Amino acid sequence: MTDGKGQGMATLIVTGGSRGIGAAVARLGARRGYAVVVNYTADEAAAQATVRAIREAGGTAEAIRGDVADEADVRALFDAAERLGPLSALVNSAGIIGPYGRLDAADAAGVRRLMDINVVGTILCCQEAVRRLSTRHGGPGGAIVNLSSIAADLGAANEYVAYAASKGAVDSLTIGLAREVAREGIRVNAVRPGLIDTDIQVIPGVGNRLDTLAPASPMGRAGTVDEVAELVLWLLSDAASYVTGALMNVSGGR
């Protein structure tokens, strides 16, 4: 599982850590001193590339496969993380955009898979984190950051209404869980990115959404994954020790 370098280091689990925002969070987390578990579902090559970049920079990381919507996979992911070092933090970055276009054209199977990953998966990972981190269960405390989206406010009409609804659920989960475990040593917050330059912005048959949407945004540009990662790591840090239940936008004013 590990070469031993990570033993004793606080461990950070990043679901969906192989690409995009998740990979940026994993890299920055390693630079901030965490042993990082890079979770992935299918793209092993991308996950290993993230791990390799962390190790080459002197950090400690392992790639662990697991479907966040599968309860057994989630338990196995957390077990593997604790072998790397004591669990301290969870970032729920795994997510998909689901069917693109009008809601009345979306297929039920695609919507179910969207909700399984974005909502059920986030809930299952939060449950497992609380069981291991909460002082109520004998844990040391810790922090959870959920990746939501500004789409939860905007609604994403004609593009991603179901996706927006899934992120609205993540917002509600964040607020409720934060209040539930606030006296158990766990802080829970959400980061809500807007137009971020990642490959999910490229829609087959449509093109790159950023080409038209980014110039029209208040700041006139898309954000970067590193700008999102900075906020995530701040929320995990002691500098945010009195911040819980917050929904924080990284959207360039959109």
Q: What is the pLDDT of residues 155-204, one digit of tens each?
A: 999 999 999 999 999 999 999 999 999 999 999 999 999 998 887 888 88
Q: Is the pLDDT of residue 6 over 70?
A: no
Whether 1 maps to a domain, the answer reads no
Question: What residues are annotated to the active site?
Answer: 163
Residue range(s) defining the domain that contains residue 226: 11-248
| Both tokens assigned to 18 | 């192989």
How many domains does the structure of the chain reveal?
A: 1
Q: Is the pLDDT of residue 1 over 50?
A: no
Integer Cα distance of 111 and 211 in angstroms: 27
Whether 51 maps to a domain, the answer reads yes
Integer Cα distance of 136 and 152 in angstroms: 32
Average pLDDT in the chain: 94
Whether 2 maps to a domain, the answer reads no
In this prediction the pTM is 0.94
CATH number for 236: 3.40.50.720
Whether 69 maps to a domain, the answer reads yes
Integer Cα distance of 224 and 228 in angstroms: 7
Q: What integer is the mean pLDDT of 96-123? A: 96
Whether 95 maps to a domain, the answer reads yes
By residue count, the chain amounts to 254
